[in-house]
Amino acid sequence: MDQTLLLWLGDLLWWLLFWTVAVFLLVAGLYMIVGPALRQGRAERRVAKALRQAGLTSLNNLVLKGRRGGLCQVDHLVRLPTGIVVLETCMRTGRLTGHPRAGVWRQTLGVETYRFGNPLHRLHRAMAAVRGALADAKLDPPLVTGQVLVPGRTQFARGRPDGVSPLSTFLQDLRAAQANGESPAPEIEGVWAALRKAGLVHAPDEGNPWHAPLRRAFRRLMADPRTAAGVIFTGVGALMLALLLLSAGRMS
C-alpha cells in the first residue's frame, strides 16, 4: 500500500478518535449535569412550594462552605422564633431500608432495588455548614436542628430512623412551632441575614447584582461531585471540539 495512503488513513483514524472522545465527553458531561438537576430539582421545588404555602420563612438551595474547605449544598432552611431548622430532601417512595450510621440506604420498588447515599449524613454535613457559616460571621449560633423529609407514602422496612419525617407531618410541626412562638429575636434576624449573605441570597431591598444568580448556579453545580464532574467533562469536550473545528478551518 502506498505510504501516503497509510499516513492519510492514520491521520483519519486519529481525527475520528479525537472527535469520538470529544463528543462523548460533551454528551456525558451534559447528562451528568442535567440528570441530577432534574431529578433532585423537582423534589426541592415541591418542598419549597410547600414551605411557602405553609407561610414559613425559608431559604432554598443554598450552597455554603463545607467543613473541609469544599462546598456543601443545603436544600432548605426554615427560620423559627427559637432557631434554624435545616431540611434535607429525600423524595423517594416505596420501601426504604437503612441504618442511621450506614453509608448507603436501599430503596425497593416492586422487584427493583436501588442504592443511594444516606440522607442523614448529608443532613449532618448541611447542619455543620450552617454552624460554620455563622462562626465565620462571628455570630453565636442559635439552636440549629435538622430533619430529612420523605413522602408520606414512603415505608421503612425496619422502622423510620430518628431524624426522618414525612413531609406533611413535619410541616404541621413547623407551623405549630411558628404559631406558638413570638416574633424572631434580633439575634435570629442577624443570623438569618448572615446565612443569606453566605449563600449569596440578597434581600429584596438590597438589590440583586446581575452576576449573583450565575454565581449561585455555578456553586450548586460544583457542590455535587456528580455535577462537578459533569462540568469538567463538558468543558474538556467543548475545548476539544473547538480545537478540532479550528484545525479544520485552517486546513481548509
Mean pLDDT score across all residues of the chain: 85
The 10s digit of each residue's pLDDT in 145-156 is 999 999 989 999
Closest CA to 87 of 109, 114, 57, 115: 57
Domain range list for the chain? 3-251
Helix (H), strand (E), coil (C) string for 179-210: HHCCCCCHHHHHHHHHHHHHCCCCCHHHCCCC
Residues 74, 62: contact at Cβ < 8 Å? yes
Average pLDDT over residues 14-27: 89
pTM for this prediction: 0.80
CA separation for the pair 194, 93 (Å, rounded): 35
Closest CA to 107 of 123, 94, 88: 94
Residues 126, 86: contact at Cβ < 8 Å? yes
The 10s digit of each residue's pLDDT in 204-218 is 545 556 566 777 777
